[in-house]
């Protein structure tokens, strides 16, 4: 009897992790493998949803899939729809194929894909249905600002550690390298950048070890563009006297080592999508670009630890992005930076080998 009771309790716990609290909810967030308190992407999108429902009192919930495969995501969406979801918010590039499938399977449900666009498995069809609104960000602009600020602050040995070769991550990294080179040219300095994709968005001892080795060999600041894996970099920074540039949201509260954060206004994206939906102006079938021109990206200046890089310098470089005087290259075909033309910057590209 005790074994049977334990089994029932275990099943209930698993279902609650997968499916939220079980109540009816008009607005649903499907998280990736992370949580709504990951201090990064999921939390940023969730904050926008909460801000909207605080103003409207519409029911809402989040659903955390059991894994990151298509079937697990689709099961979470199915659960959300069964519980009354009228609009489903999905965060990130990982949901591209998921939303592509779901938008046709559930034509009466609206989808907001934040930081991604729908596509089939081989990208031969990238149809955005009328019930889907896609939002993308100028990641390369945010990355550019981060690299520029780091070098203007005085750092010349820096690093980029991305989660994987997803398009937004590549754009972040490419922007970071270009921004660093632009500042290096202005200052007449030479900059070295360690550059690697860790092949994970999760915390791991291996990533702590990798980041620690960089710090111990002279890297001063690492741009950790990797979701929850960024916490591994922060741990390494804390243990080795290094600094971190956060990503997606202001991560200054996550660690005293955070110099600044390259931010996407994720909360604004989910809030705007929901507002458009309930106001009857939902931009289905379209992709909305959020960039410097509409305050879609930026650095966390108010909570930064900059000593030399000033607000005036930030506003000046930001203005050049707004005006189109600076247009960072955003190619995603390679990911290794070999296709970038750099003047005062050397990139040491490290490719991890699966053991």
pLDDT, tens digit, 9 for 90 and up, residues 28-62: 999 987 788 776 778 889 999 999 999 999 999 99
Q: How many domains does the chain have?
A: 2
Same domain for 114 and 84? yes
Q: 3-class SS at 190?
A: coil
Same domain for 79 and 203? no
Same domain for 132 and 178? no
pTM for this model (two decimals): 0.83
Same domain for 155 and 85? no
22 in a domain, yes or no?
yes
Distance CA(253)–CA(260), nearest Å, equals 11
Distance CA(249)–CA(227), nearest Å, equals 10
User: Which residues are bridge partners to 348 per DSSP?
Assistant: 194
User: Which residues are bridge partners to 261 per DSSP?
Assistant: 246
Same domain for 30 and 42? yes
Q: 3-class SS at 288?
A: strand
pLDDT at position 319: 98
Instruction: Determine what percent of the chain is predicted with pLDDT higher than 70.
Output: 93
Check which CATH number belongs to the domain holding 37 and give it: 3.40.50.2300
Domain boundary among 109, 137, 165: 137
pLDDT, tens digit, 9 for 90 and up, residues 210-267: 999 999 999 999 999 988 899 999 999 999 999 999 998 899 999 999 999 999 999 9
Range(s) of the domain holding residue 259: 139-263+297-350
Distance CA(253)–CA(39), nearest Å, equals 9
User: How is residue 28 written in tokens?
Assistant: 């649903």
271 in a domain, yes or no?
no
Same domain for 24 and 104? yes
| pLDDT band for position 77 (cuts 50, 70, 90) | very high
């Amino acid at each position: 009897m005790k074994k049977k009771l334990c089994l029932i309790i275990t099943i209930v716990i698993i279902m609650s992790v997968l499916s939220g609290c079980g109540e009816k909810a008009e607005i649903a967030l499907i998280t990736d493998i992370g949580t709504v308190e990951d201090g990064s992407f999921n939390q940023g999108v969730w904050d926008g949803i909460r801000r909207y429902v605080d103003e409207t009192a519409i029911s809402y919930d989040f659903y955390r899939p059991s894994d990151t495969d298509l079937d697990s995501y689709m099961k979470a969406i199915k659960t959300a729809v069964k519980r009354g979801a009228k609009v489903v918010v999905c965060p990130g590039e990982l949901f591209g194929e998921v939303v592509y499938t779901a938008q046709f399977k559930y034509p009466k449900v609206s989808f907001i894909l934040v930081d991604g666009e729908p596509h089939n498995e081989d990208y031969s069809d990238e149809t955005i249905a009328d019930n889907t609104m896609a939002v993308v960000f100028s990641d390369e602009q945010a990355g550019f600002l981060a690299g520029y600020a780091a070098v203007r602050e005085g750092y010349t040995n820096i690093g980029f550690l991305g989660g994987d070769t997803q398009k937004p991550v590549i754009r972040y990294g490419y922007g970071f390298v270009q921004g660093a080179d632009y500042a290096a040219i202005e200052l007449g300095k030479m900059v070295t950048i360690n550059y690697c994709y860790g092949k994970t968005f999760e915390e791991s001892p291996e990533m702590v070890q990798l980041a620690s080795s960089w710090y111990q060999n002279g890297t001063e600041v690492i741009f950790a563009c990797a979701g929850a894996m960024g916490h591994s970099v922060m741990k390494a920074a804390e243990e080795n006297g290094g600094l971190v540039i956060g990503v997606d949201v202001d991560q200054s509260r996550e660690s005293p080592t955070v110099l600044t954060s390259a931010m996407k206004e994720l909360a604004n994206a989910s809030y705007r999508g929901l507002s458009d939906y309930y106001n009857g102006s939902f931009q289905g079938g379209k992709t909305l670009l959020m960039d410097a021109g509409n305050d879609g990206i930026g650095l966390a200046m108010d909570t930064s630890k900059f000593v030399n890089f000033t607000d005036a310098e930030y506003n000046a470089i930001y203005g050049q992005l707004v005006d189109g005087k600076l247009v960072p290259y955003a190619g995603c075909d390679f990911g290794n930076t070999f296709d970038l033309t750099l003047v005062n910057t050397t990139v040491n590209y490290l490719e991890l080998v699966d053991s």
